[in-house]
Amino acid sequence: MMKNKIAQPVLKWAGGKRQLLPEIRKLIPKGIRTYYEPFLGGGAVLFNIQPRHAIVNDNNPELINMYTVIRDNVEELITDLQKHRNESEYFYEIRELDRKPEYDVLTPVQRASRLIYLNKTCYNGLFRVNKNGEFNAPFGRYKNPNIINEIVLKAVSNYFINNNIDFLNVDFEQAVVNARQTSFVYFDPPYYPISDSSSFTGYTLDGFNENDQIRLKNLCDRLNNRGVRWLLSNSSAPFILDLYENYHIDYVSASRAINSNAQGRGEVTEVLVRNYETN
């Protein structure tokens, strides 16, 4: 089946993988029946390889709701997006909704529309919540943000409809329980911070800590013992290098713009870890 090049990420996402796609594609093995992605985020890798059968997951329920709405109700979503305005006062009204009781009565389409609108108009274009799970990125003041990318939304919807793509909103361990030797798992967890200022785990309420990184490594070991092939991206922090020292590690360069410390932005070294030989 021909890939639809218009099907691409709908949102800008912290740690997105667009610029690393050439390096990741080189490492994807052949003979995959089911593609797994337990930390879906913006979905750059999913949309790039466009597998026929995929089981994808994210810990963020609003994100998974958005993808299911794009699959099932894309026309309603496009219509709802048309109501939004690129104005500061309106932005904060929409942002504040998750602090109010009426948020609970929003339809799935309205929630998906809100997420896309906030992502396109907030500062730096990212999804960030506070400890109460409330969206807290400020207004971006962009002159002409592309709030309604109708062509991309419809292309993504068509990809979901014409293929067997299952969406989950569970813990990452649970997301791969059915992985087999004919499966391939791509892990893109929140990165382990290189420095205190570089940590960005604000897109889920509970964050992702050192214990979670160790839990993920233990899961990788179990998958390896079952003969399941996996690829993992992360920072090149010594902690990560030590964790995965028994696996293949490739170093790659990426530009990162999201960092609370300006000195932490720019070119950084990241790693791609795998448990198989390349073809």
Helix (H, G, I), strand (E, B) or coil at 1: coil
In this structure, what are the phi and psi dihedrals at residue 84, rounded to the nearest 5 degrees? -75, 150
Instruction: Put the strands of the sheet holding 183-187 in their side by side order.
Output: 164-168, 53-57, 34-37, 183-187, 229-235, 266-274, 248-256
pLDDT tens string 172-220: 999 999 999 999 999 999 999 886 544 554 444 457 889 999 999 999 9
Question: pTM for the complete prediction?
Answer: 0.91
For residues 75, 111, 169, 231, the Cα torsion angle rounded to the nearest 10 degrees is 70
pLDDT tens string 62-108: 999 999 999 999 999 999 999 999 999 999 999 999 999 989 999 99
pLDDT tens string 44-68: 999 999 999 999 999 999 999 999 9
For residue 262, pLDDT over 60 is answered with no
* Highest mean pLDDT: which range of 1-10, 18-27, 236-245: 236-245
Distance CA 279, CA 208 (A): 33
Q: Which CATH superfamily is domain 67-150 in?
A: Adenine-specific Methyltransferase, Domain 2 (1.10.1020.10)
Cβ contact 235:194 at 8 Å: yes
pLDDT of residue 125: 81
Closest CA to 116 of 160, 143, 76: 76
pLDDT of residue 247: 98
Q: Do domains 18-60+164-274 and 67-150 have the same CATH topology?
A: no
Distances (CA, A) of 75 to 108, 148, 155: 13, 11, 12
pLDDT of residue 202: 47
Cβ contact 8:47 at 8 Å: yes
pLDDT of residue 240: 96
CATH topology of domain 18-60+164-274: Rossmann fold (3.40.50)
pLDDT tens string 125-171: 877 788 788 889 999 999 999 999 999 999 999 999 999 999 999 99
pLDDT of residue 261: 46
* Domain definitions of the chain by residue range: 18-60+164-274, 67-150
Q: Are strands 53-57 and 164-168 parallel, antiparallel or unpaired?
A: parallel
| Residue 267 structure tokens | 């070119």
Distance CA 278, CA 35 (A): 17
pLDDT of residue 1: 59
Give buried/exposed letters for 109-120 (b at 16+ CB in 10 A, else e). Answer: bbbbbbbbbbbb
pLDDT of residue 260: 46
